[in-house]
Amino acid sequence: MPRTISFILNGRRVTVEVEPNELLLNVLREKLGVLGPKYACGIGECGACTVLVDGEPVLSCLTLAVDVDGKTVTTIEGLAKDGELDLIQKAFLEASAIQCGYCTPGFIMVAKKLLEENPNPTEEEIRDYIRGNLCRCTGYVNIVKAIKLAAEKLREMKEKKIQ
Ligand code: FES
Ligand code: FES
């Protein structure tokens, strides 16, 4: 039987009717028009569908929509503020870490969590953290550069705020 769920999506409460076996990725894309999280493998192996649920990265292709009832979901669409891209999005552009862009929302959501946990990650730590995300175009070098660049900019911003 369908069930009505309600959650905060990118800062706005949404209420939607879902089937008990409906996946979060499909609900976001097909019922709520949120197209940032991508469908690629559909079996939890590529990370293209990554979103944050209560701040934690989850694979929306493996998450039941009913499980986010009452929670907070952030997708790539929720990062820009007042029309200005988030610092990590800007770093991906600056480091040319995007080619076809299909994997990019997933990488950026994971990078967001990484930099919250570890503001100064080494290259090895970055590569380890993004190991669940696949990119068929870039060879990862510029993605790692972009995350390092975002980390630097975030640290600079924090230092300015302290002064
Ligand atoms: S589409 Fe979800 S992990 Fe690949
Ligand atoms: S930029 Fe094309 S898959 Fe990553």
Q: What is the pLDDT of residues 73-103, one digit of tens each?
A: 999 999 999 999 999 999 999 999 999 999 9
Report residue 161's pLDDT band, with 50, 70 and 90 as the boundaries: confident
- CA dist., res. 136 & res. 147, Å (int): 18
Ligand 1 geometric centre to CA of 62 (Å): 8
Query: 64 and 24 in contact (C-beta within 8 Å)?
Result: yes
The whole-number pLDDT of residue 91 equals: 98
What average pLDDT score do residues 23-28 get? Answer: 98
Q: Which domains does the chain have, with CATH numbers?
A: 3-78 (3.10.20.30), 87-162 (1.10.150.120)
Find how far residue 136's CA is from the centre of its chain.
18
The residue among 4, 9, 63 whose CA lies nearest residue 35 is: 9
Which residue of 92, 100, 144, 145 sits with most ligand 2 atoms within 8 Å of its CB, as the best mutation to test the pocket?
100
DSSP state of 132: T
Q: What is the pLDDT of residue 163?
A: 73
